[in-house]
Structure 1
Amino acid sequence: MTVTVVGSFTPSVLLDLAASTGQLREHGLDVEEVPVSSSPGQFRSLLDDELHVALTSPDNVMAYRFSPANPLGALADVRIVGAVDRGMGLGLYARPGLGRDDLAGARVGVDVPTSGFAFALYALADALGTSRDDYELLTLGSTPRRLEALLAGDCDVTMLNAGNELVAEAAGCVRLAGVERLGAYLGTVVAVAGERHLPEAEALVAALLATGRDVLEGRLDAEAAAAAAARLDLTPDLAARYVARMRSATEGLVPDGAVDRPALETLVRLRTTYQPVPAPGGGDVLDAALDEDSGLVHPR
């Protein structure tokens, strides 16, 4: 069996469960999960075939497929194969002692300034009355790295999710706003470059969906809590909260793996607001992402 290399920002509890319950094996997969340090690094590795499949933000896929202003400066045949979750608690967090009125002048950590989570951060800050020009941006890489920076006092505010936000809350950090304020949202998708690893990506989506159904229907509570505690270094209480969040209809797992148009519209609106790129015929290059035949979402 060929090893499929999957790149993720935060260790995936769902992927761990798919392995431990035998779903990966049933779908013909032997998966090696490797951490990625940033979204540009993830997609560079995906295009270089160092990664076969990515667990990533759908905004990243849109950027590398449609926008020449992406960090790699080139368009690529990347596509979404299936949706995984709706953000898993994604929100704007401040270090202990800071509040909504302290955003002006704050040191704000992002993956890179043009990532999907960064755009969501700008929108939430705007909603709280602080414009992008009023705080200092720090490029810090993946979500676990930003959590470390927040807890160490190396940044004042950042976007956190996928269990990292629970650790932050336990340490006294303050949730200033959640991504649900922005409308329908997708946090994580399965993505692939080209067609070489498309079969593995489709098999992975199927395995994750089967595992997700067991989580949503309460058949893996103990196993999911144990995986969350081990993979994300959570206390039992925080691990239980993580499992509850997996079952959330607004923040948790996407039961059918479908990429819904309202969520894509939210992501397009964020990117065209904070990094508009005019299209030759008018409008924005990201407008094409909403076309049914754009190729952004692989038909299932």
Structure 2
Amino acid sequence: MTDPLELISFPGTGNLPFFAGSEKGLYEARGVSVNLETTPSSMYQAQHLVAGKFQLACTAADNVVAYQEGAGEVELDREPDLFMVMGATQIEVAFVVRPEIETYEDVKGKTLALDALATGFAFALYRMLDNAGLTKDDYEMVSVGSTPSRWEAVQEGTHAGTLLIEPFTSMARAAGYRVLGTTMDFDEYPGQVFTASRAWAAANKATLLSFIQGHLDTLDWVLDPANKDEAAEILARNMPNMKPQAIGPAIGKLMDPRTGLIPGCKMDYPGLKMVLELRSQYAPQGTQLSDPDKYIDLSYYEEAVAGR
């Protein structure tokens, strides 16, 4: 077996396949082991992925586009050569606000917490606010970091709202916080993708193929209704801060391809076009982008699927 594959992802229930695959030995059965680290921010993730500390990342599709277009929010130690390997999750990203915020109108004059101001899911929030009739002069965006940090900042009253994913969205609802909108409001919008360096992938093809096959095996196991109870136990064990009553709804979201895990890790091309549309509209660089294939190479995925 090769050295463990170092993978970095955001905290959240979408990491269930990594938990389950490692516990059940499904990656190892394909000849690869996976070490998972959760990132404090998209900037940390991009910086250390490009530097080689990690070989794979599970991240928002826009993060790949941003850094490949030289529009990332952190300086990298080399020219990036990232590409999207395959789809990962169709997570629902929710715009959550404090209980006293009842409508979009109440957002005016407030500060909102983001991971990064011009990458990731930021532009989805800009579109939500835009659709509600607000302008950029009506609010202030502040870079805070990953989901746990943003959720804490909103709870403390430092900021009026933020973008959350599960299980944080359900935790917020249960505590009386309000959801003003989600990415489900868009006709098409992708969740997360797997990304890697093109140079690393070319030099470590066998390892990447083994990971893809192991992950698809894991996904099949997690999405099998017969394994639902055990999957819930694995999620609870690996996310001990989740309340027991939140586990069931979280599993339900993960099982729904509209809000959770993507069967077969298929790439969402219509959603990627929406990502490029939003970046073209809201990114300060003003670059018009329209070709998703520039950021994708499905050859590894296709070969791995053919060899399963």
Give the structure-1-normalised TM-score: 0.90
Give the structure-2-normalised TM-score: 0.87
Moved more, 77-86 or 6-15: 6-15
Segments of structure 1 that go 5 or more residues without pairing to the other structure are none
Contact 2:27 2:218 in 1 (8 A): no
Q: Distance in 2 between matches of 1:113 and 1:141?
A: 10
| Cα shift at 1:107 | 1.4
Contact 2:64 2:295 in 1 (8 A): no
SS for the counterpart of 1:195 is helix
* CA pair 230-129 structure 1, distance change in 2 beyond 3 A: farther
Segments of structure 2 that go 5 or more residues without pairing to the other structure are 303-308
Q: Distance in 2 between matches of 1:225 and 1:81?
A: 27
| Cα shift at 1:122 | 0.9
Q: Identify which of 73, 81, 98 aligns with 1:71.
A: 73
1:31 aligns with 2:34: yes
Contact 2:87 2:265 in 1 (8 A): yes
1:230 aligns with 2:237: yes
Residue number in structure 2 paired with 1:206 = 213
Q: Distance in 2 between matches of 1:176 and 1:189?
A: 25
Deviation string 1:157-213 (CA, Å, 9 cap, x unpaired) is 100013121222222211111101122222111111123255444433332222222
SS for the counterpart of 2:190 is coil
Where do residues 215-254 of structure 1 align in structure 2 (5 Å cutoff)?
215-232=222-239, 233-254=241-262
| Cα shift at 1:295 | 4.7
SS for the counterpart of 1:23 is coil
Residue number in structure 2 paired with 1:154 = 158
SS for the counterpart of 2:264 is coil
Where do residues 1-300 of structure 1 align in structure 2 (5 Å cutoff)?
1=1, 2-11=3-12, 12-65=15-68, 67-72=69-74, 75-87=79-91, 89-100=92-103, 101-197=105-201, 199=205, 200-232=207-239, 233-275=241-283, 277=285, 284=288, 286-287=289-290, 289-290=291-292, 292=293, 294-299=294-299, 300=302
Contact 1:184 1:266 in 2 (8 A): yes
SS for the counterpart of 1:214 is helix
Q: What amino acid is aligned across from residue 170 of structure 2 in structure 1?
A: L
Q: Distance in 2 between matches of 1:13 and 1:76?
A: 28
Task: After the TM superposition, list the runs of 4 or more consecutive aligned residues in structure 1 that deviate by more than 4 angstroms.
Answer: none
Q: Which has the higher helix share?
A: 2
Moved more, 217-226 or 42-51: 217-226
Moved more, 213-222 or 240-249: 213-222
SS for the counterpart of 2:27 is helix
Q: What amino acid is aligned across from residue 297 of structure 1 in structure 2?
A: D
Q: Distance in 2 between matches of 1:153 and 1:82?
A: 38
SS for the counterpart of 1:102 is helix
Contact 2:65 2:295 in 1 (8 A): no
RMSD value, Cα: 1.9
| Cα shift at 1:263 | 0.8
Moved more, 111-120 or 146-155: 146-155
Q: Distance in 1 between matches of 2:231 and 2:135?
A: 39
